[in-house]
Chains A and B, each alone.
Chain A
Amino acid sequence: MTVPLPVFVALPLVTAFILPLCGDRYKRLATLLANAAVLALLVLAITTIGKSYSYQVGRWSIPLGINMVLDGLSSLLLITISVVSAASMLFSVRYMEQYTAKTKFLSLFMLMLTGMNGVVLSGDIFNLFVFLEIASIASYALVGFGCEHEQLEAAFKYAVLGSVASSLILFAIGLVYGNTGTLNMAYISQAIQTRGLNHGLTFALAMFIAGFGLKAALVPFHAWLPDAHPAAPAPVSAMLSGVLIKVLGIYAIARLLFNVFGVSDTVGWVMITLAVLSMVFGALLGIVQWDFKRLLAYSSISQIGYVALGIGMGCVLTAEGKLKWASMALLGGLLHLVNHAVYKALLFLASGSVQMATGTRRMNRMGGLAAKMPFTRLTCTIASASIAGIPPFSGFWSKLILAIAAIGAGYYWIAGIIVLVSVCTLIMYLKVQRYVFLGELPDNLRQCKENKGTMLVAMGVLALLCITMGALVLVPSLKSSLLDPAVQVLIDRFEYSARLLAGAN
C-alpha cells in the first residue's frame, strides 16, 4: 500500500482546525482526537519504509506544478518526527492540564507537525519555505504559550531571529529563481549541473547556510535556543529540541547541499567549522548551567553539532571522492540525528516531570528525588547514559561511527574533539544525576510525588527506544531498510534530480 504523500500534511492540518471547535468543554474529545491523529501518522510513516515515490499535487506535472517526494531520507525523518511527536503528545495529555486553553495547544502542536512533515516531503523549494514558516510560526506561539514574563521574552527573541532566518532563506530562494528560472529542486539541480555555480548561486548558498544555520542553532547563530527551548512547556521543548531544529535546519541544509547544489570542499569545511564550534561551545556552556532545562538546551546545541559534523564530513569526503568514508560519516550523522531526537525528547520530558512534581527547574534547589520519583530517575539515567555515549546505549553507536569515519578519513583532530565533547557531555549529565536525583532531599520537597499515567508511558517508550536503538546499525535488516537508503540518497547526489526528471517525462 502506498500512502498518498499529501496525507502527511493534510491529516495534521485538518486535525489542527477541528480541534479548536471542541473548545474547553470537550477537552477530552480534543485530546483523544489529537492523539489518534498522531498515532495514525506514526503508522502511516512506518508504511513508507523502503519506498520512494513522488506525488504531483493537482496532477500538474513538474516543473509547472508542485511535487512531493518521498525517498530514504524523507522516510527516516518522517518516522523520527512521528515517534517523537507521538511520545510528546501522550506526555502532554496530563502535563498540559496545568495550562489553560489546552485545545489551542493541541491545535498549534498539530500545525507544527504539518509544517515539519511538509518540509521533509516537499520537492519544491518555495513550498519548502512555506512549510518551514508554518512550523516556525506555530513554534513561536508554542514557546510563548505560558504567557509569563520569561516565556514572552524568549518567544520574542526566537520570533525575531526566526524571522531574520526566514528572510535570508526567502532572499536566497529569489536568487536561485533568478539564476535558474525554476523553483523545483530537481530542475534547479539540473540547471546547476549543466551551467555550474555562478556568483549569484554561490551567494544564495551562503545565505541558505546562514538561514538554515539559524534555524538549526549552529554556534554563531545559537543565541535564541537556550532561551526558547527551556521556556516552552516540556512536551514542546521535546519537539523543538528533538526534531524541529533538525528538520528545519539540518535536513534542509543536507538536502540542498547534496541533492541540489552539489557538494564541494569549501562548503563542507564551513559546515565542519560550524559543527565543531557548536559541539565545543554547547558542551562547555552547558556544564556551568544550573537551570535543568537550560542545561539540556545547551546540550542540544552541542549534539546538533555532531549531526552537522556528520553532514559536513560527508560533504568534504564525497567531494574528495572517498565515498566509503563519506557514507560512514553520513551514516553516523543521520544515526545521531535519530538518536538525539529520542533521548533529548526523553530528557526534556523527564525535566518536565521533575518540574511538575517540584515546581522548580533550579538544580541547586533539588536533590534526592531518586527515592521520590524512581521511574523518572530510571528513564532519565538511561537517556543520560545514551547521550554521554556509554555502551550499549544508543548514543554510543552513532559517536563511534562518526569517530571511525573521522579516523578513517585521516582527520584525527576531529575524532579527538568527538571524544572530548563526549566527556564534557558525561560531566554535564553526571551533574544532573548528582544534583537532581542524588544527595539530600530539601525539606520543601518532602511532599513531591511521582507523576502518573500517560506521562510515564511516554517516557517508558522513549527509554526503551534508547536502549534498543543500537539495533539500527547492528541488525543488518534494520540498517538496510532504514538507514542505508537515507545515506544512499545523499551519497548519490544528483541521482535525486535524475530520478525525478525521468519520472516527469
Chain B
Amino acid sequence: MPYTLCFLLFTIGLLCAVVKKNMVKIIIGLMIMEYAVNLFLIMLGYRTGGAAPIIDRTNINPEGLLDPGFIATSVDPLPQALVLTSIVIGLGTLALMVSICIRTYERYGTFDITQIRRLQG
C-alpha cells in the first residue's frame, strides 16, 4: 500500500510537469517526482520497529562478526546514503532550473511556456 501511494505521488509529479503551463509549476512537479523517488528509496530500507543501524560491541558476536539477529532487525542504511546523494543532486538541478527560469523571466517577462515560443516544434 505505501508503495502504491509512492508511485501515485510519482505520477502526480510527472502529470504536473507535463500538463502545467507555468515554468515554476513545472519545476515543482519535477521536484515532487524527485521526492517520490527519494521516499521510495527510504521505504526500501525501512523496517517497521527496526533498530537504528548503528553497531556497538553488543552486536558483535565472539567470532568478530556482526550478529545475525541484529541484521534481521535493523534498518538498511544503504538507501539512506543513496537518498542523501540524490537530494544533493536534486538541489543542484533545482538551483540550475530556477536560475534558468529567472533569466527567462527577465527576457520574456512571463513564466507561461505557451508564450515562450521562439523555437519551432
B107 and A149 contact, CB distance less than 8 A: yes
Residues of A contacting B13 with CB < 8 Å?
167
B119 and A150 contact, CB distance less than 8 A: yes
Stretch at the interface among B47-55, B56-64, B92-100: B92-100
Residues of A contacting B93 with CB < 8 Å?
133, 137, 140, 159, 163, 166
Mark interface residues in B61-78 (1 if CB within 8 Å of A CB, else 0): 000000000000000001
- Across the two chains, which residue of chain A brings its CB closest to B121? A226
Q: Which of A133, A141, A149, A178 contacts B89 (CB 8 A)?
A: A133
Cα(A253)–Cα(B86), bound, Å:
21
Mark interface residues in B1-44 (1 if CB within 8 Å of A CB, else 0): 00000000010011001000001001100100110110011001
Given A137-B96, A153-B118, A167-B34 contact (CB < 8 Å):
yes
A144 touches B (CB below 8 Å): yes
A29 touches B (CB below 8 Å): no
A167 and B33 contact, CB distance less than 8 A: yes
Q: Which of A137, A153, A171 contacts B40 (CB 8 A)?
A: A171
B85 and A174 contact, CB distance less than 8 A: no
Cα(A163)–Cα(B97), bound, Å:
10
Given A133-B89, A152-B104, A167-B79 contact (CB < 8 Å):
no
Interface of chain B, main secondary structure: helix
Interface of chain A, main secondary structure: helix
Cα(A5)–Cα(B119), bound, Å:
42
A354 touches B (CB below 8 Å): no
- Across the two chains, which residue of chain B brings its CB closest to A157? B119
Given A163-B34, A170-B86, A141-B40 contact (CB < 8 Å):
no
Cα(A226)–Cα(B119), bound, Å:
9
Given A137-B92, A152-B107, A153-B118, A160-B40 contact (CB < 8 Å):
no
A404 touches B (CB below 8 Å): no
Q: A residues bordering B, Cβ < 8 Å?
A: 126, 130, 133, 137, 140-141, 144, 147-150, 152-157, 159-160, 163-164, 166-167, 170-171, 174, 177-178, 183, 226-227, 231
If A126-B82, A152-B100, A177-B78 are given as contacts, then 9 extra A-B residue pairs at C-beta distance below 8 Å, sorted by A number, are: A126-B85, A140-B93, A140-B96, A160-B97, A163-B34, A163-B93, A166-B93, A167-B36, A170-B86
Would you list 13 pairs from A and B whose C-beta atoms are within 8 A, ordered by A residue?
Answer: A133-B93, A137-B93, A137-B96, A144-B103, A150-B119, A153-B104, A153-B118, A163-B30, A164-B33, A167-B10, A167-B13, A171-B10, A177-B82
Nearest 9 A/B pairs, CB to CB:
A152-B104, A167-B33, A178-B44, A133-B89, A163-B30, A174-B41, A170-B37, A227-B119, A171-B37
Q: B residues bordering A, Cβ < 8 Å?
A: 10, 13-14, 17, 23, 26-27, 30, 33-34, 36-37, 40-41, 44, 78-79, 82, 85-86, 89, 92-93, 96-97, 100-101, 103-104, 107-108, 116-119, 121
